[in-house]
Amino acid sequence: MVKICCIGAGYVGGPTMAVIAYKCPSVEVVVVDISKPRINAWNSEQLPIYEPGLEDVVKKCRGKNLFFSAEIEKHVAKADIIFVSVNTPTKTQGLGAGKAADLTYWETAARLIADVSKSAKIVVEKSTVPVKTAEAIEKILTHNSKGISFQILSNPEFLAGGTAINDLFNPDRVLIGGRETPDGMKAVKALKDIYAHWVPEERIICTNLWSAELSKLAANAFLAQRISSVNAMSALCEATGADVSEVSNAVGKDTRIGPKFLNSSVGFGGSCFQKDILNLVYICECNGLPQVANYWKQVIKVNDYQKTRFVNRVVSSMFNTIANKKIAILGFSFKKDTGDTRETPAIDVCRGLLRDEAQLSIYDPQVPERQIRDDLSMRKLDWEHPGHASSVSFSAPEQISVVTDAYQATEGAHAICILTEWDEFRFLDFQRIYDSMPNPAYIFDGRNIVDVEKLRKIGFIVYSIGKPLDPWLVDMPAVV
């Protein structure tokens, strides 16, 4: 029986390994983590992450061929294939701070593998890492390994939050990079055989190591660039009377461009896009390519601009003062169907509103109050000026209340900001909400999910990103 061990039981390690176990009953999969609470949660009724379909898959395999354990050394030693799916955040200090990937967790994992291994291993980079990381890992393993053979593969993950299980069941592609030596090719085949249990062969792409590592960063950069492109257009739409949805539709009909990922929004969030682009920028700079670095940096700058533009729109529409006004925040996670708040645009938008002394009443169907409060009070790295002590933090707990339904959040509010596209927000009783709010009652839709005409008929002043402006907003002072 092939034995797989995955180091890192997070958003990627957990779901990915659960699907491998589910699709390959003849393979034993153990997911290990340094966080005991996380492992306990994986072994409980309340899984540590929310993903549609995940619970079902886990329950079908857990205790049969899928195990979660904190005994890292024991399971690493026994495994044939070791996936490393630890976090690779942006470095916050030292060389490359604000851009480079922090590989501390990765290096710790690699050293542990070298220490405890007594037989040949295939080590798979599942985390997103800078190009050439495999070379560094190879050095750590071979210099500490008492002659044991290690093959390093790059097998980046492309799942998206909220659709992880579907993405893993039906991936557009599985990418495997390996050394072009007989042993390297043998290792690639061993991993390919795992995925071949359910992924059609033509969707399993095999490349050299560096192409696989770079393709992951490139894919995220291309995706984020599409969003920044459409968000940049949204500002121009508002200035000219064009409608960004019509523009996206017309542009996306070109088969060379395609319709996906052209939804204008308050900005992209999530743990990957910003981190991976900054990582790419750093790699370009290290390779003497400042023009290429600046090109990609602009994707993040436009994203920051979009969030600031949204906040300024709210403040300027409300006579430049929101001090002590109640503002309802609907949605805090970085997208619907996930409780993940990493880099969610809601953090920056809420902080912007709090700085103008608003009173926020926040509701999200999946994010717990503790998480929201931590996110809003945590110091946040200013990626452009990482050396500054100004990595801003915010703490004014009395300005924030976190509530358990949308009607509670909106009752008595001067304005509503929709920051996540949860389906339930489309079906709210907006007449009831309007009747509970003082006049003028505003809705700022950062996800373009409401029926603007219907809400204007009720009496709301509605702002939708990139849509023709409400007559009320036309003469308000320009934003950023």
Ligand X SMILES: O=c1ccn([C@@H]2O[C@H](COP(=O)(O)OP(=O)(O)O[C@H]3O[C@H](CO)[C@@H](O)[C@H](O)[C@H]3O)[C@@H](O)[C@H]2O)c(=O)[nH]1
Q: Of these, 20, 109, 235, 437, which contacts ligand NAD (CB under 6 A)?
A: 109
Considering only residues 141-200, where is the footprint of ligand X by CB under 6 A? 157-161
Query: Smallest gap, in angstroms, from Cβ of residue 157 to ligand X?
Result: 6
Does 302 sit near ligand X (CB under 6 A)? no
From residue 43, give the alpha-carbon distance in Å to each of 37, 58, 72, 94, 366. 10, 9, 16, 38, 20
Considering only residues 223-262, where is the footprint of ligand X by CB under 6 A? 223, 227, 261-262
* Segment interacting with ligand X (CB under 6 A) among 23-31, 34-42, 270-278, 360-368: 270-278
State the DSSP string of 199-260: S-GGGEEEEEHHHHHHHHHHHHHHHHHHHHHHHHHHHHHHHHT--HHHHHHHHHTSTTT-ST
Residues forming a β-bridge with 359:
326
From residue 390, give the alpha-carbon distance in Å to each of 81, 344, 357, 380. 43, 20, 20, 9
- 286 counts as catalytic: no
Cβ nearer to ligand X, comparing 334 with 444: 334
Both structure tokens of 468:
């023709």
Q: In whole angstroms, what is the distance from residue 429 CA to residue 445 CA?
A: 16
Q: Of these, 23, 297, 313, 335, which contacts ligand X (CB under 6 A)?
A: 335
Query: Smallest gap, in angstroms, from Cβ of residue 434 to ligand X?
Result: 27
Cβ nearer to ligand X, comparing 272 with 367: 272
331 binds, among ligand NAD, ligand X, none (CB under 5 to 8 A by kind): none
33 binds, among ligand X, ligand NAD, none (CB under 5 to 8 A by kind): ligand NAD
* Segment interacting with ligand NAD (CB under 6 A) among 6-14, 57-65, 194-202, 438-446: 6-14
Strands 66-69 and 28-32: parallel
Beta-carbon contacts of residue 378 (< 8 Å; ≥ 6 apart): 393
Cβ nearer to ligand X, comparing 124 with 272: 272
Largest pairwise CA distance in the chain:
75
Q: In whole angstroms, what is the distance from residue 449 CA to residue 228 CA?
A: 19
Q: Of these, 72, 124, 235, 406, which contacts ligand NAD (CB under 6 A)?
A: 72
* 131 labelled ligand-binding: no
Strands (E) in 348-432, as ranges, are 359-363, 400-402, 415-418
Element (H, E) at 122: strand 121-125
227 binds, among ligand X, ligand NAD, none (CB under 5 to 8 A by kind): ligand X
Q: Which 3 state secondary structure label does DSSP give 90? A: strand
Respond yes or no on whether the N-terminal peptide bond of residue 440 is cis (omega within 30° of 0).
yes
Cβ nearer to ligand X, comparing 113 with 419: 419
Is the distance from CB of 296 to CB of 459 less than 8 angstroms? no
Residue nearest to ligand X (CB): 270
Q: Of these, 9, 280, 400, 450, which contacts ligand NAD (CB under 6 A)?
A: 9
Catalytic residue among 61, 206, 272, 350: 272
Query: Smallest gap, in angstroms, from Cβ of residue 382 to ligand NAD?
Result: 21
Query: Smallest gap, in angstroms, from Cβ of residue 163 to ligand NAD?
Result: 10
Does 108 sit near ligand NAD (CB under 6 A)? yes
Q: In whole angstroms, what is the distance from residue 415 CA to residue 294 CA?
A: 37
Query: Smallest gap, in angstroms, from Cβ of residue 110 to ligand NAD?
Result: 9
Query: Smallest gap, in angstroms, from Cβ of residue 11 to ligand X?
Result: 8
Element (H, E) at 28: strand 28-32
* Segment interacting with ligand X (CB under 6 A) among 268-276, 369-377, 397-405, 464-472: 268-276
Q: Of these, 24, 49, 209, 272, which contacts ligand X (CB under 6 A)?
A: 272
Is the distance from CB of 19 to CB of 169 less than 8 angstroms? yes
* 62 labelled ligand-binding: no
Q: Of these, 4, 5, 6, 8, which contacts ligand NAD (CB under 6 A)?
A: 8
Does 245 sit near ligand NAD (CB under 6 A)? no
Considering only residues 114-173, where is the footprint of ligand NAD by CB under 6 A? 127-128, 157, 159, 161
What sign for the dihedral angle of Cα 331, 163, 101, 105?
positive
Does 328 sit near ligand X (CB under 6 A)? no
Q: In whole angstroms, what is the distance from residue 137 CA to residue 27 CA?
A: 26
Neighbours of 5 (CB within 10 A): 26
Residues of this chain that bind ligand X (CB under 6 A): 128, 157-161, 220, 223, 227, 261-263, 265, 268-270, 272-273, 334-335
Instruction: Extract the annotated binding site.
Output: 8-13, 33, 38, 86-90, 127-128, 272-275, 342
